[in-house]
Amino acid sequence: MSKESFDQLAIFSVVARERSFTRAAAKLSVWQPALSRSMRQLEERLGVRLLARTTRSVAPTKAGERLLEVVAPRFEEINHELTLLSEFRARPAGSLRITAGEHAAVTVVQPALAKLLPDHPDINIEVIVDYGLTDIVAQNFDAGVRLGEQVAKDMIAVRVGPDIRMAVVGSPDYFSRHPRPKTPRDLTQQNCISTRLPTHGLFAWEFEKRKKELKVRVEGQLVFNNIGMRLDAALNGLGLAYMPEDLVQTHIAKGQLIRVLSDWCEPFSGYHLYYPSRRQTSPAFTLFRDALRYSV
């Protein structure tokens, strides 16, 4: 294969995955018209249309999808093997892309980065906060951090945090105006601060007591997709919040928040780092994984 053909296939792989010449150009640090020209040349050489273009979007045709299925994993393997060459350097080096939920990013990933990065200046890590269950292979992430129960069975999972317990909390001011709920079902009569999911639905608050599970779809004046704003709203007396226990313990101890329904909030599986089982890990990834690893 000529160098030109190799380059064109590599460019096609990025454009087809990004579904945008603009994003692909930014990712490859290449002038956008040069990408368009390379794709036209590739299509002319193969005699097949690979990309369907409109003024607003770019998407692979059926032929393009088939080619993408073939070439994308090959380029991924090549890039990964090039990364592994860093083990021959005097210092571990490389870039990692990690996806995690907001709470996991703040309480698990950030402390590990503070421990890891000062001693390894050649390691670069990008953390993308996402509430959805990201497909790390399709989205080109090296790994993700999610609750143990959310990790797919075909992934390697490493425990990186303790069991988690949720807490329903409200301010003294809020409870001066509203009765305290005695059961989770009472929450339907409360002003609750909801969480917006990536699917555009609202998160149902989950409870368990003596192996009896219960989900409650709450309502209220406020909806956020940010954990910090939910906490601030609860502190300001604007409603009840459903929060990870570790984020509200200090406020409860100071009397700024009051906890209710604690007997319905049992601990559940904590955070795990997960990554594809077929992928050999680089020295940089091994250091990152070890920095996150949790010991009971």
pTM: 0.68
Residues 170 and 147 placed together within one structural domain of the fold = no
Residues 117 and 180 placed together within one structural domain of the fold = no
CA distance 121 to 219: 47
Q: Check residue 87 and give its pLDDT.
A: 58
Taking only the tens place, the pLDDT of each residue in 124-179 is 999 999 877 778 887 888 999 999 888 888 889 999 999 999 999 999 999 999 99
Which domain CATH number covers 10?
1.10.10.10
Residues 176 and 143 placed together within one structural domain of the fold = no
Q: Check residue 192 and give its pLDDT.
A: 98
Q: Which residues contact 241 (CB under 8 A, 6 or more apart)?
A: 168, 169, 170, 192, 193, 230, 231, 233, 234, 248
CA distance 24 to 31: 10
Residues 79 and 105 placed together within one structural domain of the fold = no
Residues 180 and 258 placed together within one structural domain of the fold = yes
Per-residue pLDDT of the chain (296 residues; tens, 9 = 90+): 566 777 888 888 888 888 888 888 888 888 888 888 888 898 998 898 999 887 677 888 999 888 888 887 777 777 767 666 655 556 788 899 999 999 999 999 999 999 999 999 999 999 999 877 778 887 888 999 999 888 888 889 999 999 999 999 999 999 999 999 999 999 999 999 999 887 778 999 999 998 899 999 999 999 999 999 999 999 999 999 999 999 999 999 999 999 999 999 999 889 999 998 765 678 889 999 999 988 65
CA distance 266 to 268: 7
Please give the structure tokens belonging to residue 294.
């949790």
Residues 142 and 157 placed together within one structural domain of the fold = yes
Count: domains in the chain: 3
Which domain CATH number covers 98?
3.40.190.10
Residues 140 and 281 placed together within one structural domain of the fold = yes
Which domain CATH number covers 249?
3.40.190.290
Q: Check residue 88 and give its pLDDT.
A: 58
CA-nearest of 61, 24, 28, 31 to 46 is: 61
Phi, psi values for residue 13, rounded to 5°: -60, -40
Q: Check residue 149 and give its pLDDT.
A: 81
> What is the residue whose two structure tokens read 């490493």?
158
Residues 199 and 258 placed together within one structural domain of the fold = yes
Residues 136 and 191 placed together within one structural domain of the fold = no
Report helix, strand or coil for 211.
coil
Instruction: Choose one of 85, 101, 117: the last residue of a domain.
Output: 85
Q: Check residue 31 and give its pLDDT.
A: 84
Q: Check residue 283 and give its pLDDT.
A: 86
- For 42, half-sphere exposure in the C-beta direction (CA atoms, 13 angstrom radius) is 26
User: Domain residues for 104?
Assistant: 89-163+270-292
Instruction: Choose one of 45, 63, 85: the last residue of a domain.
Output: 85
Residues 285 and 155 placed together within one structural domain of the fold = yes
Q: Check residue 29 and give its pLDDT.
A: 80
Instruction: Choose one of 85, 110, 134: the last residue of a domain.
Output: 85
Residues 177 and 249 placed together within one structural domain of the fold = yes
Which H or E run contains 224?
strand 222-224
Phi, psi values for residue 266, rounded to 5°: -90, 150
Residues 130 and 195 placed together within one structural domain of the fold = no
